[in-house]
Structure 1
Amino acid sequence: MNFTKTLILASKSPRRQALLKEAGIPFILKTQDVDETYPADLEAGDVASYIATKKAAALKAQIQDEIVLAADTVVRVDEKILGKPENENIAREMLVKLSGKAHLVTTGVCLLTKTRQVVFDETTEVHFRPLTIQEIDFYIDRFQPFDKAGAYGIQEWIGMVAVDKIVGSYFNVMGLPIHAVYQHLQQF
């Protein structure tokens, strides 16, 4: 598919980069460090879009005729957000919280030009079977999920053996609802 504007991906995520490449959407990579804090009174379901918008806005002064694509993914269980774990202990705590439960994965996306901004999100429900501590420790030791919200990547071992069911987009859980991104880009 040919798009008339250059797409700038404002993300360090190798998964987002891979999804765009696999979908045949050309992009250039440009990132800016952004404070990913959010207001304490913000609804948990709105956090991903809020942070994605901040990431896109950080590049607005640097663009001319390009489209910036920024995204953020959050994992929510019992209306609490599980961010990226800082160490093994926190990763273990997160995976114990997810074990045997359903949780929500929301990815917020912001598409931004000099004159237009479109923000949307997608939520997928993911069901984990109960996990043993040995399985959790194996996953953490082998896959080091410290750069992933909720301490897991669905495309990795844990997704293959622990996910009973998903309701919604698999690619959204990977970090980008690529079908929705593609449709929105066509409108630009």
Structure 2
Amino acid sequence: MEPIILASGSPRRKQLLEWAEVDFEIRVKDTPENWPAGMAVIDVPVHIARNKALAVKAGAEPGRVVVAADTIVVLGNEIIGKPRDRADAIHILSRLAGQRHEVITGVVLLKDGEECAFADITAVWFHPLTTAELEAYVDKYKPYDKAGAYAIQEWIGVVGIKGIEGDFYNVMGLPVSRVVQALRRWS
């Protein structure tokens, strides 16, 4: 199988595919990360991932598989995006502290006229965390490019997460085992 095209500049997705020993190259096109009003929360990351995949697929060679993903954090029924700045990151984390939330990653694989699309959901429970702990985390790790203002593989995940139900790697940004299974069906 030719190397897949990863339509993402995420260092975490790159790392996960490397760990899975998937041969890939990265191609990224700027794509708006918005969605139609009234769209069901579960459909939002798949919609955004599809737009990313289609943007890259337009310039891809025939027969090449394009993989795109988008990850959102959901508290209640509210999508929590990436923080705007330090204060917003601390505010987001203070809302998540002591609570259960979901991390949903939408994945779209395209190959010629075929599409495989799915969403993977992982429930995450945070311990209560102090404002000082949240400020120290944000100041050290600067999680401004991360949905929900945190990365599970950093300090806050090691110390602050009480438990998860679902795929750990989904919280990092890619349910890589499901992606590999989908790729196997096309090889």
TM-score greater than 0.5 by the shorter chain: yes
Structure 1 residue 93: Cα displacement: 1.1
Q: Match for residue 131 of structure 1?
A: 129
Q: Match for residue 94 of structure 1?
A: 92
- Letter aligned with residue 182 of structure 2: H
User: Could you say what the CA RMSD is over the residues aligned between the two structures, in angstroms?
Assistant: 0.7
Gapped runs of 5+ residues in structure 2?
A: none
Which of 155, 158, 165 is the aligned partner of 2:156?
158
Runs of 4+ with deviation above 4 angstroms:
none
Structure 1 residue 6: Cα displacement: 2.4
Q: Secondary structure at the match of 1:150?
A: helix
Cα deviation 1:136-172 (Å, max 9, x = unaligned)? 0000000000000000000000000000000000000
Aligned length: 185
Structure 1 residue 65: Cα displacement: 1.7
Q: Secondary structure at the match of 1:59?
A: helix
* % identical equivalent positions: 44
- Letter aligned with residue 54 of structure 2: A
Gapped runs of 5+ residues in structure 1?
A: none
**Equivalents in 1 of 2:59, 2:20: separation in Å?**
26
**Equivalents in 1 of 2:79, 2:120: separation in Å?**
16
Contact 1:70 1:109 (C-alpha < 8 Å) held by counterparts: yes
Q: Match for residue 43 of structure 1?
A: 40
Contact 2:70 2:107 (C-alpha < 8 Å) held by counterparts: yes
Which of 9, 12, 29 is the aligned partner of 2:6?
9
**Equivalents in 2 of 1:60, 1:174: separation in Å?**
24
**Equivalents in 2 of 1:59, 1:142: separation in Å?**
34
Q: TM-score, normalised by structure 2?
A: 0.97
Structure 1 residue 45: Cα displacement: 1.6
The reply to whether residue 69 of structure 1 matches residue 41 of structure 2 is no
Structure 1 residue 5: Cα displacement: 3.0
Q: Match for residue 167 of structure 1?
A: 165
Cα deviation 1:12-60 (Å, max 9, x = unaligned)? 1000000000110010010000011101201112111110001001012
